[in-house]
Chain A
Amino acid sequence: MTRPFLGFGLGLRTEHYQFVLDNKPDVDWFEILSENYMVPGGKPLDFLDKIRDEYPMVMHGVSLSIGSTDPLDMDYLNGLKQLIHRVEPHWLSDHLCWTSVDHTNSHDLLPLPYNEKTIEHIVSRISQVQDFLGRQILIENLSSYVTYNNSEMTEWQFLNEIARRADCLVLLDINNIFVSAHNHSFDPLHYIQGIDSDRVMQFHLAGHSYSDKLIIDTHDHDVCDPVWDLYEQALKRFGAVSTMIERDDDIPEFDILRAELAVAEKIAAKTLSVAELKISHAKASGVA
């Protein structure tokens, strides 16, 4: 598979709508939070359409709840399908987690036990989702704070096995690897080395916060140096992968985020060749 490379993007946030429209900043693409636009109408969709006219987009969701034992939420999937039709994203992603059970939503990305039974459950559900949407989806690794005692493998083995069997793609969150490595005492480089290269379609970068004993995935700080170092290792392992910075709280001025994205561009330029970093907006077969 030839991996399409969109270049370097940012998460589209309401605070920056007007700035983006007025200034058309030099950003290769935007990632939108799908649920913010699964509304009947009004300003969110108006801004979305105007910005989509100017920039490539990908969609990123938080409520697919692919690991839940509740039935798939068909209302949600229908809404997602409508939004896909509107946005025509290069791809869409959600998390390898569960968010709801007993028809109650936690609005959090909750971890799963890494074992064969869970793999079978999730592979079946991803296949249903991909069949319904008529396209592959990307599944993202989490930051997590607990380990279940019935887990039988590493998280990267779990993620690989699901991606292979469901024939889905992977959104690798470099910050989440760093956070989980600290919280569960593993070497983040083992994670990077362990992931199947050919399924990684996108990278996330983000900041985090320290609590007393754990690191919390808060997306409210700049990307820290150890995560930049890990990003460089990921580029060496996977090559050119579309990269974006997620900022969800304490959101700074757009130019500050743009400057942070330039750090990613600089690291990529240092690590990869010009030819590798050539942007391709071509839609890969089976992806878009």
Chain B
Amino acid sequence: MARMKFLCDAERCIECNACVTACKNENEVPWGINRRRVVTINDGSPGERSLSVACMHCSDAPCAAVCPVDCFYTTDDGVVLHDKDICIGCGYCFYACPFGAPQFPTTGAFGSRGKMDKCTFCAGGPEADNSSEERRKYGSNRLAEGKLPLCAEMCATRALLAGDGDTVSNIFRERVTWRGSSGLTWGWGVAYSKPGLRRGRGVEGKAAGKD
């Protein structure tokens, strides 16, 4: 069985937010909810990095451990899903989650939380695959159609990878081994047009000899 994982390559992510938009569109999530977000650290300074974050589908998920009504379950593919019929919208999963994945629509009185919504790895919920009920509550079930999550499929720079953990890490391992620059490629000239500039700064990287 596959063990589904997301991996965001921070050397490639350009903070375009296409994954956020793609997810929102594909799953038709309620207003105010973003199952995925892009976080940029040291924004605007040399060395800034961006990461696309959503539910990481933990092996031992804190949300599932803390849920007072025990509404989480892990599929055979290692995807952490939850049952909205059981969820009471208490918000505890959001406080326990390291990645801020669980989201809550503010529908109730006094701004109280509605039922939790989070990334499903485009795998729907406990209802029958691709039933209208499943679509209404959880959005798309692309996994049942043999497709991967749309956020990763849409990623223009292939920064966001989704799929079986082994495959994803093989791709990433190859990238790390043959990466063209060491990450000091700040500025247009350095990054694209003048390899000599890079060499002068000693930032050729491990692929220097790979012409």
A and B are interacting partners: no
List the interface of chain B (C-beta within 8 A of A).
none
List the interface of chain A (C-beta within 8 A of B).
none
